């Protein structure tokens, strides 16, 4: 959603699902190979959007 001032992300992409709560986060893997800066941005996205989803992840073990 455009027009919503939020954090600029460098290592992940964040696509808001509503104007105030919820976003899809992509551009990373949940298999343990996420850099510290990537983890920090995922945490920031959670703080910014309160709920985050990652629909593109395959099986995580």
Taking only the tens place, the pLDDT of each residue in 6-51 is: 678 999 999 999 998 999 999 998 887 889 999 999 999 999 999 9
Distance CA 34, CA 19 (A): 28
| Exposure string for 13-50, b = 16+ CB within 10 A, e = fewer | ebebeeeeeebbbeebeeeeebeeebeebbeebeebbe
Scanning the structure block, which residue is given the tokens 């976003």? 23
Domain assignments of the chain as residue spans, ordered by start = 13-53
Residue 59 has pLDDT above 90, yes or no: no
pLDDT at 60: 56
More confident residue, 2 or 10: 10
């Amino acid at each position: 959603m455009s027009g919503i001032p939020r954090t600029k992300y460098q290592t992940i992409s964040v696509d808001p699902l509503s104007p105030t709560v919820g976003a899809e986060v992509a551009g990373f893997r949940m298999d343990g190979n996420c850099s510290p800066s990537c983890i920090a941005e995922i945490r920031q996205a959670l703080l910014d959007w309160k709920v985050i989803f990652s629909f593109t992840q395959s099986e995580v073990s």
